[in-house]
Amino acid sequence: GAVVSQHPSWVICKSGTSVKIECRSLDFQATTMFWYRQFPKQSLMLMATSNEGSKATYEQGVEKDKFLINHASLTLSTLTVTSAHPEDSSFYICSARDRDLRGGRGHGEAFFGQGTRLTVV
């Protein structure tokens, strides 16, 4: 399958600071990337959908000013957790959807990065 690289794999930061997480599709172009948050022993919660060259679409209840998403190219999206607090501690995972070269929707697998464990102290 295709490779999605997420960096860093873990980070510890002080309360009030900002943290940037990078997500790269290494061997394919991704017009759409997704950011998820996962709590222990729970499913993946979609935070936002990121489209290259346009503003991200946030899910209900997700603060867009706190979780800044930038999708500058077909292979890179970043999530910045601003003014982090202990309650932001979580496992954050990105996903990139393989570009649909045939046009239309309903095609293109989604591949996940290895995740980032964020701990805010």
Partner 1 sequence: GENVEQHPSTLSVQEGDSAVIKCTYSDSASNYFPWYKQELGKGPQLIIDIRSNVGEKKDQRIAVTLNKTAKHFSLHITETQPEDSAVYFCAARPRYTDKLIFGTGTRLQVFP
Residues that bind partner 1 (CB under 8 A): 1, 4, 6, 32, 34, 42-44, 46, 49, 93, 95, 97, 105-107, 109-115, 117
Of 68 and 110, CB closest to partner 1:
110
Taking the complex as a whole, the smallest distance from the CB of residue 121 to partner 1 amounts, in Å, to: 19
Of 14 and 43, CB closest to partner 1:
43
The owner of tokens 């996962």 is: 38
Of residues 96, 76, 98, 86, the one with CA closest to residue 20: 76
Taking the complex as a whole, the smallest distance from the CB of residue 120 to partner 1 amounts, in Å, to: 18
> SS3 of 21, please?
strand
Taking the complex as a whole, the smallest distance from the CB of residue 83 to partner 1 amounts, in Å, to: 26
Of 2 and 82, CB closest to partner 1:
2
Of 82 and 99, CB closest to partner 1:
99
- DSSP for 62-98, written as a single string: --TTTEEEEEEETTEEEEEE-S--GGG-EEEEEEEEP
Taking the complex as a whole, the smallest distance from the CB of residue 119 to partner 1 amounts, in Å, to: 13
Residues 117, 63: Cα–Cα separation, whole Å: 19
Q: What are 107's two structure tokens?
A: 């095609």
Q: What are 120's two structure tokens?
A: 């805010």
